[in-house]
């Protein structure tokens, strides 16, 4: 299967003082709260670990919001530089991934709003955003690999709203919990995330059923 350009990762150039293997070994079994606390207390290896683990996925996620790779890189770099400057006064973070995704989404939407001269939100991004890859659908159709079925699923996914596709992408591609999805999408309640997912899946089932009739 060909690789979508959105899934390529080009990391921002942030100097990292420690080797990748060493930091992965030290922090791989620690909880996010513990890793974040270590980072907040000045542990550079914790910072290195957070960047190494999350920057590639942040770049991929950011590329779902805008194809301006330079903007995505700049925003990711600014997030990590800003966090480093704020060490010692950061609030506890239970899920580093959802926290960073929320930060990146906010920053990119702010930059896009400046660029376009009007306010942009995930609701107004349009149908070209959060474009889910066909590889995702294997989790919905039990490893179905027939090209005709893949085309039908891709067409059904494209008919979901941008907001629904974002929620489905975060659940299946990023492996986030409903609580994490609610944080990234800035929803007031976890049940709101569940509602968006359930409606999206109901729509997918209806669209697929219609295409087979």
pLDDT tens digit string along 104-152? 999 998 898 888 776 666 665 544 455 544 444 545 554 445 566 777 7
SS3 169: helix
Q: What percent of the chain has pLDDT over 70?
A: 73
Domain extent for 188: 126-212
Identify whether residues 112 and 159 lie together within a single domain.
no
Residues 76 and 180 in one domain: no
Given 73, 93, 120, which residue is the final one in a domain?
A: 120
Check whether residue 25 and residue 98 sit in a common domain.
Answer: yes
How far apart are the C-alpha atoms of 151 and 146, rounded to whole Å? 9
Let me know whether 200 and 96 are in one domain: no
Total domains present in the chain: 2
Residues 6 or more apart in contact with residue 136 via CB below 8 angstroms = 168, 169, 172, 173
**One domain, residues 106 and 134:** no
DSSP 80-144: HHHHHHTTTSPPP-S-HHHHHHHHHHHHHHHHHHHHHTS---GGGS-TTSS---GGGGGGTTTT-
Q: Say yes or no: 16 and 83 in one domain.
A: yes
172/68 same-domain check: no
Spatial separation of the C-alpha atoms in residues 202 and 167, rounded to whole Å: 14
Q: Is residue 112 domain-shared with residue 131, that is, in the same domain?
A: no
28 with 112, same domain: the answer is: yes
Answer yes or no: do 97 and 201 share one domain.
Answer: no
Give yes or no for residue 211 having a pLDDT over 90.
no
What is the CATH number for 180? 1.10.10.10
CA dihedral sign, ordered 102, 107, 72, 32: negative
Provide mean pLDDT across the span 72-101: 94
Alpha-carbon distances of 111 from 68, 137, 195, rounded to whole Å: 11, 31, 29
The per-residue pLDDT for range 188-201, each reduced to its tens digit, is 999 999 999 999 98
Q: Are residues 174 and 139 in the same domain?
A: yes
């Amino acid at each position: 299967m060909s690789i979508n350009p959105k899934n390529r990762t080009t990391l921002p150039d942030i100097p990292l003082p420690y080797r990748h293997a060493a930091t992965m070994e030290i922090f791989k079994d620690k909880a996010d709260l513990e890793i974040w606390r270590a980072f907040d207390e000045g542990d550079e290896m914790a910072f290195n670990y957070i960047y190494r683990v999350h920057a590639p996925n942040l770049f991929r996620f950011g590329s779902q919001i805008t194809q301006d790779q330079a903007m995505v890189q700049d925003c990711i770099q600014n997030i990590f530089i800003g966090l480093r400057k704020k060490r010692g006064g950061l609030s506890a973070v239970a899920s580093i991934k959802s926290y960073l995704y929320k930060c990146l989404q906010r920053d990119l939407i702010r930059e896009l709003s400046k660029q376009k001269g009007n306010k942009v939100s995930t609701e107004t991004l349009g149908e070209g955003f959060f474009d889910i890859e066909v590889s995702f659908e294997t989790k919905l159709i039990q490893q179905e690999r027939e090209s005709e079925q893949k085309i039908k699923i891709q067409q059904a996914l494209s008919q979901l709203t941008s907001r629904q596709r974002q929620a489905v992408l975060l659940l299946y591609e990023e492996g986030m919990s409903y609580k994490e999805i609610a944080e990234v999408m800035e929803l007031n309640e976890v049940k709101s995330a569940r509602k968006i997912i359930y409606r999206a899946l109901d729509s997918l089932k209806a669209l697929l059923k219609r295409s087979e009739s």
